[in-house]
Chains A and B, each alone.
Chain A
Amino acid sequence: MNMNRRQFFKVCSAGLSGSSIALMGFSPTAAQAEVRTFKLARATETRNICPYCSVSCGVLIYSTGDKSKNTPAEIIHIEGDPDNPVNRGTLCPKGAGLRDMVQSANRLKWPEVREAGSNEWKKISWMEALDRIAKHMKADRDANFMAQNKDGVTVNRWTSTALLASSAAPNEAGYLTVKMARALGMTSIDTQARI
């Protein structure tokens, strides 16, 4: 079957410019055999970074949909970003399997609580979870906050609740975490980076 240019675009979805299709190296006739490429050509490409080791390889994430408001996207493919000067499009066996991490069967989907002495998880709402956690934190802080040490020096610290922070979180989350923790007076803080 011969397609003209117009029919070709209709088939491989709207929204792509002719020049980018040409850049991908196939013309309408050759394209008929390129089933996998078609799927990616319809997908939205997002630039991100592999979260595993500190080479921090650039990745391209392909998802369904066009990021319109209220259209949920599904990640269908992840590969190396050829523009990234460090990895130049390559990924290792870990990075090449990133889609399976995003779609891991063990992803958490809702807040849960395990009550004292219980042997099971119970699904709870965000509101209940945050409410209960905040009450615990405030009670512990109010009971154990040290305004002055035994020599009368103002120290304003709260050591009895600890925080261990993630090294997989972006800088912005890290910054907000440390800002909030210090404002609460926390000093029992550490990160994965140490180990």
Chain B
Amino acid sequence: MTNHWVDIKNADLIFVMGGNPAEAHPCGFKWAIEAKKNRKAKLVVVDPRFNRTASVADFYAPVRPGSDIAFLGGVINYLLTNDKIHHDYVKAYTNASFLINEGFTFDDGIFAGYNEEKRSYDKATWSYQMGADGFVKVDETLQDPRCAFQMLKAHYARYTPDVVQQVCGTPKEAFLKVCEYIAETAAPNKTMTNLYALGWTEHSVGSQNIRCMAIIQLLLGNMGMAGGGINALRGHANVQGITDFALYAQNLPGYLAVPTDAEPDLKTFLDKKTPKLLRPGQMNFGQNLSKWYVSLHKAWWGDAANKDNGFAYDFMPKLGGASDVLSIFDQMYQGKINGFLCQGFNPLASVANKKKVGDALARLKYMVVMDPLATDTSEFWKPHGEFNDVKPEEIKTEVFRLPATLFAETTGSFTNSGRVIQWRWKAADGPGDAKDDTEILANLFLKLKEMYAKDGGAYSEPIQKLTWAYRIPTKPSPEELMMEFNGKALADVLDPKDPTKVLVKAGEQLPSFAMLRDDGSTTCGNWIYCGVWSQAGNNSARRDNSDPSGLGQTLNWGFAWPVNRRILYNRASADLSGKPWDPKRTVLKWLGDKWGGNDIPDMRPDAAPDQNVMPFIMTGEGVGRLFSLGLMAEGPFPEHYEPFESPLDTNPMHPKNPKARANPAARVYKGDMEAFGTAKDFPYVATTYRLTEHFHYWTKQSKINAIMQPEQFVEIGEELAKEKGIAVGDKVKIRSNRGFIKGVAVVTKRIKALDVDGKKVHTIGIPIHYGFKGATKPGFITNTLTPFVGDANTQTPEYKAFLVNIEKA
């Protein structure tokens, strides 16, 4: 979330698409209701189903699964054609006036630089025109046909209301009504908040769905405003924190770039990864990368990381290629991975194409499950009737299952979707011999360390030198760990403006990442969390919920990253002179000598408005990007592509170009392309979803949840039910080209057939929560059906739009 849960109450319009918070995030959704009640805010929902959020909305419009970019592209076109944009904001705070490389082209669905064989782009021309002064050329009149604004206009001119109806199946009148609601928030003092969840991310074009909204919110001037922003309603209670700590391959904690084979030494790495200043006078905050990166190495390897060895640059493994959940299971499937540590994760149920995942696990030599519960994954080798039809004698994987503790049995912090870090306390011990994850991992690590010390083996210096100054080495405490990742001064930190002044004394906890240094004098395990445990103590445990702002900022409750800032880009909530666009909802204002207001400034505190330091401080340009340069895999402007399994044979936007049917830059592995089905055999669109009574594949283990929603059902519309002779309560079988599941038919008015490109398209809704382990009725795993292909940027699988057939079981 760029904003936070309580801030939703400040919106004038709550636009929900790609999410269903009334069902999936009920206690956060209450703030949408508060906005409706107290501000007369409107709630607009666009979704394939008339869902629970839609049932309390002011307006609902249906959309075909996987056609969101066509819809949102239509909104962009509407705003530009009807001149419903926040002009001053767009001109000053976005790259609208920036000139784009003359070589950049777009031709029938494909951008410049495409390599069909590699399914990827050479992005050299996805760039700005540079002036002789070393900065980007701009045209402040926004008239140059190569400026981002004009190119945006030209790109989306094709997305007319008629095209939206043709591609999305949304009736034109409904689409235009949604546009009218959105357009009202172009007024400087009106804001729209956008709430989205997996309904946008779980597509082969997921990231570009969100990019569309970024463009819309920039055009409307809603970024940085109270009641504005782009708000991802995320999954688990600490999914935000675990993402921040980079428990994945392509980043290090705090979203730092990870070294690859192309950066053999620290200098090359920093030169390549540090963003360049693109416009004069901007903060380009990313220029501090060296301080964050060196401080991470100091936190991990202490004295062994020093100036002479590039701060132990070689201790950090270099990433050799893709390494996300799909690529990991594909490599496992090919026999290239022998061991698998599975921590609180149930991939047999939660990863696409259950058969492929199960076959991959069967090729392992060893697997270690650390979990509080007996998961489906831990028993992938065990026959559970037709739900898990396997032969244990043929599966040679040695499986260990280690009991871990649950939330109530550990102390430590969770970071919510609004980036607020909150401390939690342990209430009781776990059952039996259960141990905390930290204790399990520490024991394992210390054992390995001892074995390497005794017996030698592959390069073990990073293991032997890893800092481990915990009072009880086998049980690092949460307090010790938080203090460590916050970071401290190893030597006095001096004021760069006046080196006689000591800012932080040696040995003290650091108050903010502004104190980090790249000379080895500071440590920090995650720069964006710096300040969470300062000399003042554990700031995440603060519990003062007073709110003098009236906006719900509660600056003394917990600690938000970065530096306790609650609304990102908040400098953009004020005009160029520093006056708030809406004084009734002041987030930030210029006080004459510094920035102040109701939040921590997302700006150098003393940057006077006439210095023209722009609000998007993490970019080298200082402004928000309508044109996203080379940052996205499939293009600088989002374009509609069909889902990999689509009811349409061609992309209606590019009917004559088969290369542009589905995302041209999405990665598809050998065997997976062949496993896609076609509309001939699988005529219905399927989309998976969640129920308010269940959480993923977890609560099926809990009795009360099992009583409330005991078994798998499948939701179909009345028209399809009639066509297929299916009645409420009938047992039905759903097949995709990868397998089948069975469930109870629920026939509703909530999913209606849509008229798409001259064809009637039915959608089937499938809840995900069931499996063969748990307190719920044993059943099939929904991901038996889903395709093994992901978003071209994030590799999040396409769970939300694929093809199936349905029959009475």
Q: Decide if A158 touches B695 in the complex (CB within 8 Å).
A: no
Is A183 among interface residues, defined by CB-CB distance under 8 A? yes
Output the residue of A57, A121, A189, A195 with the most chain B CB within 10 A: A195
| Interface locus among A6-14, A21-29, A33-41, A48-56 | A48-56
Min Cβ gap A55→B in Å is: 4
Q: A116 interface residue, CB < 8 Å from B?
A: yes
Which A residue's beta carbon lies closest to that of B450?
A134
B325 touches A170 (CB 8 A): no
CB-based contact A113/B408 at 8 Å: no
B236 touches A183 (CB 8 A): no
**Mask for B381-413, Cβ within 8 A of A = 1, else 0?**
111000000001111111111111011111111
Closest residue of B by beta carbon distance from A87: B27
Please pick, from B345, B383, B481, B708, the residue contacting A175 in the complex, using a CB distance under 8 A: B481
| Chain A residues, Cβ within 8 Å of B457 | 138, 141-142
How many A residues are at the interface, by size bracket? Answer: 35 or more
Does chain A have a CB within 8 A of B125? no
B372 within 8 A of A: yes
Q: Which of A107, A117, A153 contacts B264 (CB 8 A)?
A: A153
B174 in the interface (beta carbon within 8 A) = no
* Docked CA distance A185–B424 (Å): 31
Query: Is B437's CB under 8 angstroms from A137's CB?
Result: no
Chain B residue contacts of A94, Cβ below 8 A? 692-695, 699, 705
Across the interface, B235 reaches (CB within 8 A) one of A83, A102, A184, A193, namely A193
Interface residues of A in 104-157 (CB under 8 A from B): 104-119, 121, 126, 129-138, 140-142, 144-147, 149, 151, 153-157
- Across the interface, B320 reaches (CB within 8 A) one of A93, A144, A155, namely A155
Contacts of A50 in B (CB 8 A): 237, 407
A186 to B448 Cα, complex, angstroms: 14
Complex Cα distance, B540 from A106, in Å, reads 32
Interface string of B639-665 (1 = CB under 8 A from A): 000000000000000000000000000
**Can you name the residue of chain A whose Cβ is closest to the Cβ of B482?**
A172
Interface core residue of B413, B416, B775 (most chain A CB under 10 Å): B416
Query: Smallest CB–CB gap between A77 and chain B, Å?
Result: 11
A104 and B337 in contact, given A48-B407, A187-B317, A190-B324 (Cβ under 8 angstroms) = no
Instruction: Name the contact of B476 in the complex, choosing from A54, A141, A167, A176 (C-beta under 8 A).
Output: A176
Residues of A within 8 A of B249 (CB): 187-190
B331 cross-chain contacts in A, Cβ below 8 A: 159, 162, 188
| CB–CB B238/A191 < 8 A | no
Cβ contact within 8 Å between A121 and B693: no
A101 touches B406 (CB 8 A): yes
- The complex places the Cα of A174 from the Cα of B478 at a distance, in Å, of 11
Interface membership of chain B positions 324-345, coded 1 if the CB is closer than 8 angstroms to chain A and 0 otherwise:
1100100110001111111111
**0/1 interface trace, chain A 73-98, chain B, CB 8 Å (1 if under):** 11100101001111110111111111
Scoring A90, A97, A141, A162 by chain B CB atoms within 10 A of each residue's CB, the highest score goes to: A162
Q: Is A194 an interface residue (CB 8 A)?
A: yes
Residue A171 CB within 8 A of the other chain: yes
Q: Are B402 and A91 in contact (CB under 8 A)?
A: no
Given A106-B774, A173-B438: A161 in contact with B340 (beta carbons within 8 A): yes
Of residues 55 to 69 in A, which have CB atoms within 8 Å of B's CB atoms? 55-58, 61, 63
A163 at the interface (CB under 8 A from B): yes
Asked whether, in the complex, the Cβ of B426 is within 8 Å of the Cβ of A155, the reply is no
A109 CB to closest chain B CB (Å) equals 3
Closest to A115 in B: B398
Mask, B415-458, CB within 8 Å of A = 1, is 11110111011111111111111100111110110011000011
Question: Are B395 and A56 in touch, CB under 8 angstroms?
Answer: no
Q: Is the CB of A177 within 8 A of B237?
A: no
Which residue of B28, B445, B462, B692 is within 8 Å of A86 (Cβ)? Answer: B28
Provide the residues of chain B in CB contact with A161, threshold 8 Å: 337-341
Residue A32 lies at the interface, judged by CB distance under 8 Å to chain B: no
Is B318 an interface residue, CB under 8 A from the partner? Answer: yes
Interface presence of A178 (CB below 8 A) = yes
Interface size range of chain B in the complex: 35 or more
- Chain A residue contacts of B442, Cβ below 8 A: 176
Docked pose: A167 CA to B344 CA in angstroms: 8
- Indicate if B754 sits at the interface (CB-CB under 8 A): no
Which chain A residues lie closer than 8 Å to B400 at the CB level? 111-113, 129, 132-133
Residues of chain A contacted by B395 (CB below 8 angstroms):
116-117
Known: A54-B233, A171-B482, A190-B249. Contact between A133 and B368, CB under 8 A? yes
Residues of B within 8 A of A104 (CB): 373, 701-703, 775
Q: Can you name the residue of chain B whose Cβ is closest to the Cβ of A116?
A: B396
Picked from B392, B466, B795, the residue with its CB within 8 Å of the CB of A118 is B392
Known: A85-B545, A92-B27, A109-B403. A52 touches B698 (CB 8 A): yes
From residue 306 to 363 of chain B, which have CB atoms closer than 8 A to chain A? 314-320, 323-325, 328, 331-332, 336-345, 347, 350-351
B466 and A180: CB pair below 8 A?
yes
A136 with B414: CB separation less than 8 A = no
| A53-B235, A114-B398 as given contacts; A190 in contact with B407, CB under 8 Å | no
Question: Chain B residues with Cβ under 8 A from A5's Cβ?
Answer: none
Asked whether B248 is an interface residue with its Cβ less than 8 Å from the other chain, the reply is yes
B25: interface (CB < 8 Å): yes
- Min C-beta distance of A193 to chain B, whole Å: 4
- Min Cβ gap B262→A in Å is 8
Residues of B within 8 A of A131 (CB): 447
When the two chains form their complex, are residues B242 and A192 in contact, meaning their CB atoms are under 8 A apart? yes
Chain A residues with CB below 8 A from B252, complex form: 178, 182
**A1 on the interface (CB 8 Å rule)?**
no
Contact present for B328 and A164 (CB under 8 Å):
yes
> Which chain A residue shows the least CB distance to B352?
A195
Residues of B contacting A78 with CB < 8 Å?
Answer: 408
Q: Which residues of A contact B774 (CB under 8 A)?
A: 106
Chain A residues near B463 (CB, 8 Å)? 183-184
Q: Mark B466-481, 1 if CB is under 8 A from A, else 0.
A: 1000000000101001
Is A169 an interface position by the 8 A CB rule?
yes
Q: Which residue of A lies closest to B342 (CB)?
A: A164
For residue A72, give the distance in angstroms from its CB to the closest CB of chain B. 6
Given contacts A73-B429, A106-B773, A188-B331, contact A49 B235 (CB under 8 A): no
Is the CB of B67 closer than 8 A to any CB of chain A? no
For A72, the closest partner residue in chain B by CB is: B429
* A174, B241: Cβ atoms closer than 8 Å: yes
Pair A192/B350 contact, Cβ less than 8 Å: yes
Q: A83 touching B543 by the CB < 8 A rule?
A: yes
The 7 closest A-B pairs by CB, nearest first: A166-B344, A109-B432, A170-B412, A161-B339, A108-B403, A56-B416, A145-B458
Query: Could you list 19 A-B pairs, sorted by A, with CB under 8 Å?
Result: A49-B424, A53-B236, A54-B236, A54-B240, A92-B26, A93-B708, A102-B409, A104-B701, A112-B400, A114-B382, A117-B395, A129-B402, A138-B457, A162-B341, A166-B344, A175-B481, A185-B459, A188-B323, A193-B242
Beyond A97-B705, A176-B437, A195-B797, 9 additional contacts (C-beta under 8 Å) are A53-B28, A54-B237, A56-B420, A86-B5, A92-B26, A115-B398, A126-B433, A136-B339, A179-B525
